Structure 1
Amino acid sequence: MKATLAGGCFWCTEAVFQRLKGINTLLPGYMGGHTENPTYEEVCTGKTGHAEVIQIDYNEDELSFRDLLEVFFKTHDPTTLNRQGNDIGTQYRSEIFYHNDLQKDEAERFIAGLTAEGVFDKPIVTKVSPAGVFYEAEDYHTNYFLRNPNQPYCVAVVKPKVDKFIKAFE
C-alpha cells in the first residue's frame, strides 16, 4: 500500500519513517504543486506550490495507515502553517495526500480525534488532500541523514526528530 506525507523537510520525515518495520520502500519527493518536474531549487523558492513529501510503500500486514498517522503526528508540529521550526515556506507544510477514500476518512477521523482530545495547544492545520503526481527528489536526497549524520542541519534538526521518534516508539 502507498502513503504520501508532508511533514516539513523530507530529510527529517524520511529519517524517522525509515525506522519503522513494514516499510518496503520510502522515497523523498514533491507533490501538490503546479510545476511539472520541479527541482529542489525550484521547490525551495515556494513558487511551484509543491510540498516536500515522502512516499511510502508499506506492508499492510505489518503496519497500518493509522500507525503511519500516529508516527506522523508525534514527530512533527501539525499546528504551524507552512513551517516546521526554522524551515519556513509552503514546501514545509503539513499535509496528508490520500490515495483512496479509506485513507481520506482515516486521516480526517484521526485529526478529529486529536482535536477532540486536545492533544495540541493550537489548532491542527494539516491539510488532507488527494494525492497527485509524485515527483521523486534528486538522488542525493535519498537516505540523506544516513549518509550525512554529521552535516550541521542533520545534527541540529534531523537527529532530534529521530531521537523523539525513538523515545516515543521504542
Structure 2
Amino acid sequence: MGYESLTDDKISSILLSNKRVTNPQSKEVDKGSHTQRNYKVTSLDGQEYTLYVRQSKLVNDDFSCGLLWHMPSGEVITLVRYNGSSHYHPNHLEETELDFACHIHRATERYIKAGKKPEGYAEETTRYSTVNGALHCLTTDCKIAGLKTEEDYPDLFK
C-alpha cells in the first residue's frame, strides 16, 4: 500500500495508535543554521516512525517538530508537523494563508489526492510558542510515550 491510498480515517488511526520512543537519549546534531534531534519511535503493532525536533540557531521562533511514518512499502510520509511562527503558510487548496503564527500541519487525504505535499494543510494554534511546547503537544496528540517533554506556560501579560 502506497501513501496515495491513505484516507483521513487511516491517518487518524495511525496517529492515535500508542507509540514509544526507543532512543530517548538521542544526540542533537549540528546542521549548519539549525540543530536537529531524531528519535526512533515504534508502535505496539511494530510500525516504525521518526520523530524529529529542529530548531534554528538564528531565529528563536523558527522551529519544527514532525512525525514521519516509515510505511511497510518503503515510502516515508510526514504525518504531522508542528511549526513555529517564523513564516506564513499558504493552504493551497483552500486558498487561505496563516500569517506568522504557530501552526500544525497534518497529512490529509484531500492533499494527497490533489498531488500536493500530504501534510500541506495547516491550522493555526495557540497551544505552544516554543519548540519544547510543540514537542509536548505532538507527543501528547500522537500518543508517543518514553520522552520527557515540557509544556509551554502561557504568558499572562499578552
TM-score range, shorter chain: under 0.3
Query: Which is greater in Rg?
Result: 2
Instruction: Tell me: higher relative CO, structure 1 or 2? Use CA pairs within 8 A at least 6 residues apart.
Output: 1
Scaled by the length of structure 1, what TM-score is found? 0.26
